């Protein structure tokens, strides 16, 4: 399955209304390198692009296009547990 993950999903400064997909506690521990390491640990292929998340177009972010054998929601839950 191919899905897209934006770095805004993990930004603790934003509310869930503006795109945060994980808890603030987990988001507090987020950095880009942890995400890349986690993607590699599940043996997924990915590519990174600079972009802007549609709900916050005034802030630049990164878009990760991931090819993995799991669903996007499963990926986000696993990564949240990894950060917590």
**What DSSP letter does each residue of the chain carry, written as one string?**
-EEEEEGGGG-TTS-GGGT--S-HHHHHT--HHHHHHHHHHTT-EEEEEEEE-TT-TTSEEEEEEEE-SS-HHHHHHHHHHHH-
**Residue 10: predicted pLDDT:** 92
| CA dihedral sign of residues 26, 29, 31, 36 | negative
Domain 2-83 is in which class? Answer: alpha beta
On whether the pTM is more than 0.85, the answer is: yes
Q: Supply the pLDDT for residue 84.
A: 83
pLDDT < 50 regions, the chain? none
Kindly list the domain boundaries of the chain, sorted by start residue: 2-83
Residue 2 pLDDT: 95
């Amino acid at each position: 399955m191919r899905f897209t993950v934006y770095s805004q999903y993990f930004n603790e400064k934003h509310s869930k209304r503006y795109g945060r997909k994980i808890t603030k506690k987990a988001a507090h521990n987020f950095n880009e390198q942890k995400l890349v390491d986690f993607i590699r640990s599940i043996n997924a292929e990915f590519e990174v692009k600079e972009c802007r998340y549609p709900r916050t177009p005034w802030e630049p972010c990164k878009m990760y296009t991931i090819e993995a054998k799991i669903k996007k929601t499963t990926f986000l839950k696993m990564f949240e547990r990894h950060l917590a």
